[in-house]
Amino acid sequence: MVHVGVLTPITGGFYYGDVVANVTQAVAAAGGHVTLVQTIDAGRSRQKLPPAPDVPHIGWDSFDGIVAIAQAASASSLRSAIASGTPVVTVGSEIDLDAAQVVADNRDVVRGAVGHLVEHGHRRIAFVGNLSQSDTNARYEGFRAGVAAHGLGGGATLVTTVDHVEAGGRLAADAVLATGVTAVVTGTDRIALGLAAALRERGVRIPDDLAVIGYDDVEEGWWHDPPLTTVHQAIGTLGTRAAELLLAELRGEPDHGMHVVGSTFVARETCGCPAGAGGSAELGIAGADELVAVVLRHLEEHAGPGDEPDALARLDAVLAATVARLYPSPPPPEAMLSFSETVVDRFSVLAADAAGRGDPTADLLRPAGARTMLALRDHERGVTLERTERLASSIVEQYDVGIEVLSTSSGDPEQLAWLTKASARVACLALWEGDPADGVLHVTGVFDPEGRLDEAPSGTLRIEDFPPRALVEQADAGLGDVLYVVPVRGVNGDHGFLCVLGACERGSRSDPATYAHWATTHNHWAAVLAVALKQKALLGHLGRSEERYSLAASAAKDGLWEWEAGLGHVYVSERCRELLGVADDAAVTLDTWVALAHPLDTDRVAAELGRAVDEPGVPVEVEYRVTGADGATRWVLTRCLAVASEGVVQRVVGSVSDIQTRKDLEDQLRQEALYDNVTGLPNRRLFVDRLDAALRHQDRAEAAGFAVLFFDLDGQWICGVPQRVYSKLGYGVNRDIAVENEVTALVDYGDGVTGTFVTCTYDIAGTDRFEILGDQGKIVVEDSKRAVVTRLRKPEAELSAGMDMADVMRLFTGEVDLDTLYTQETIELESPFGQQHADVLENFARNVLDGTPLVAPGADGIHGVRLANAIHLSSWLDQEVALDLDERQYLDLLNERIREEGLFPVREV
């Protein structure tokens, strides 16, 4: 049994519907099946068709032959089909192809239209149209031939439109007026109607100021004011001829080449012809003659008197069937008028002749004319009612199906359970298995509520084998059934194909998107299904992504939150509540969120969240402290991003991370970078930084000043805190400075241990010596770099008691082995004390200014300052001073020296 595949951009409506219907009718007569394959994306506007696409090899191993309508497939796609051994016949396109091609007369009829305008006196004529399709190109060639044949000045003026419909005509109006032409031939009637409307708005009278001729003979042109002069093409004949050529080639009788079907020029009023000039009158006359012939054959087969029972009923049935066949859609008004006049006239003459011969059929021929008018009226009413009902049904069905597909009530959209809301009988959905380029489909759903299929398709199949044979066999072309294959493809992705069994619809010459029920319905189903499949895929991806992120957030122990601008509340995850110390049942708003921060951080948190709202799309981070439910303060990091729509922030999403460990580590690293690991005192880098800051501050404020007090007191604590000190200080020796740069200090630890500290910072060679002497030995530190530790093998008193004068003399003359008396250890210091002269004072100042923790116990700092003060006071008084000195005396003497200098304010206690 022959299986014909019809490739078409649109599966129904004006032009395409008539071609498909006639192809189906011819194939049905040969006992075959027809599958319609829509080649443009689902949901795409049918008013603005794209260039001929490259189509997948769908059905190539199933189709015995292919009919390709207009811009259905690219030339390369059709050549591939031919190369695979599948015969191809094209309709409506002139392509460089070794195949039979059927086209309407576009050239000669348009050339004649130019001649018609010339007869009306026009010499400046333009062609208005879009040349992206071959048939429009052919019309333009016919126009140019007509212009050349009549020697019209200015040549073949072309005004290009953006498309083939009304919008293109409207947009071309100003360009047409700019050419100064008096008449135009348009590529389509719809361009002509759009152009005429725009010209009327500009005060141009048609045809007085500008004559217009269209092409297609659409219904809107019949009722246009004035009626549109056009070209009527025999669309149905194109389909019949294409099917005949394909069937002949399948029988081994190929007839490749161009096959032209005649078109008819229809003169109405927009070209300047008077009302009732003819139009499609000849179409009506031809139809009338055919109807009369059918009636006469009927009467010959059923000869008898007119009063025979059911004679009129049988006649009415013949009239109704013939009218419906001749005019499946309403004919143009002038065709209807000529048809009516001719029928009445023919039957009147035939009735008179029959009566003169005494033929009893005269009784049936006499009322036949009037009864034909009733049949035509009833047919038109029926067609109009059917259109209305079909449109209403289509709207309701598309709405119901759309709701059902996108809802969850019918389950997985791939299973096609949503088709219970539609008029489908059998359907099948096959989605791509992997990359569409691989050409493998997987049947995911079959709809067969009546159990028509002996075995439901399943599993995978190659695209060349789709649609499944079981569904193809259900398409009985004799009953007007075809199989629709619509791509589930478009802006929502390329998912696969939907195959549905439905009735073949003949098109009308009205708006193609209005009454083509199956064409619009299947296209709508596929478009909505694509949305549902994309939604399903997105939900799956979102679910997996959310799971991954949730697991990652759980692993990272991060909290998640979202603020919705419209609702005002903040969604807070369980972990987020834990980090912020918020109770599980506590509501959170943006204000309460800010209030959760430490009082010292609230302004900064509010400012950063406000910045996020002011700068949507820009990530914002802020670190701050919060107090947990356990009362402990911890550091957290909030990251957030504001999402806006049309410039208005809709929500802010973010996360909260526990960074307490990181903060602790930062403090540790900062401590190690700025303070000595052994002594815990600030290092040279920190001292230089603070000294630089002080210098820059003095540059900014002339009244500001600073002083640097140097004391190398590190070694003083080796034997504990000194009790008394006697010192001599030199201030600004050989230097213009107000600090001590020559120090000699003797300290007494009170337990028999004494120390000597000598330093001279103006000495280029350097003098820096600290020595502590006790009864177990001594420690000497030189130049803050080297320490020599001498350890007596016996205490000093015990050694002295065991020596007489002779032993002492041998000791002084070097006759005694000193190793028997003591040991010595030299220590090279890795962190010289000289780098830490200002450490204690600097650390103390930072503690006062910004709360930096003290690196040594506070008591050590107090002892160090007290020892420094005691050294100064001892030098000023030139006497030994106890460490527990008179602070008032010290301050008075200090202020006296400050006054002598005159550089710094006097200090008070």
Question: What residues pair up with 489 in beta bridges, in sequence order?
Answer: 494
**Length of the chain, please?**
909
Give the pLDDT score at 713.
45
Q: What confidence tens digit (pLDDT) does each residue in 511-563 have?
A: 554 445 555 777 777 778 778 778 777 777 767 777 767 676 666 678 888 88
Going along the chain from its start, the domains and CATH numbers come out as: 1-86+407-547 (3.30.450), 104-233 (3.40.50.2300), 281-386 (no CATH), 557-665 (3.30.450.20), 675-748+834-909 (3.30.360)
**Using CA atoms, how far apart are residues 47 and 685, in angstroms rounded to an integer?**
77
Task: Quickly list DSSP for 86-138.
Answer: --EEEES---S-SSEEEEE--HHHHHHHHHHHHHTT---EEEEE-TTSHHHHH
Question: What residues pair up with 675 in beta bridges, in sequence order?
Answer: 682
Burial 464-474 (b: 16+ CB within 10 A, else e): bebbbebbbeb
Cis preceding linkage at 226, omega within 30:
yes
Q: Which residues of the chain have pLDDT under 50?
A: 513-515, 707, 709-718, 831-835, 837, 909
Structure tokens at 2: 């022959």
In three-state secondary structure terms, 348 is helix
- 134 touches 95 (CB < 8 A): yes
**Using CA atoms, how far apart are residues 330 and 343, in angstroms rounded to an integer?**
17
How far is Cα of residue 403 from the mean position of the Cα atoms in its chain?
Answer: 24
Cis preceding linkage at 51, omega within 30:
no
**Using CA atoms, how far apart are residues 170 and 192, in angstroms rounded to an integer?**
9
Question: What residues pair up with 503 in beta bridges, in sequence order?
Answer: 481
- 468 touches 442 (CB < 8 A): no
Dihedral sign for Cα 873, 874, 880, 883, please: positive
Give the pLDDT score at 28.
92
Residue 267's contacts (CB-CB under 8 Å, 6 or more residues apart) are 116, 229, 273, 277, 278, 279
- 332 touches 222 (CB < 8 A): yes
Residue 90's contacts (CB-CB under 8 Å, 6 or more residues apart) are 67, 68, 69, 78, 97, 99, 100, 101, 102, 242
- 174 touches 204 (CB < 8 A): no
Give the pLDDT score at 835.
46
Place of tokens 């802006």: 491
Measure the CA dihedral 825/831/837/843, to 10°: -130
CA distance readout (Å), 543 to 548, 549, 652 = 8, 10, 21
Give the pLDDT score at 293.
93
CA distance readout (Å), 343 to 235, 319, 383, 809 = 25, 11, 21, 164
Among 868, 854, 858, which Cα is nearest to 711's?
868
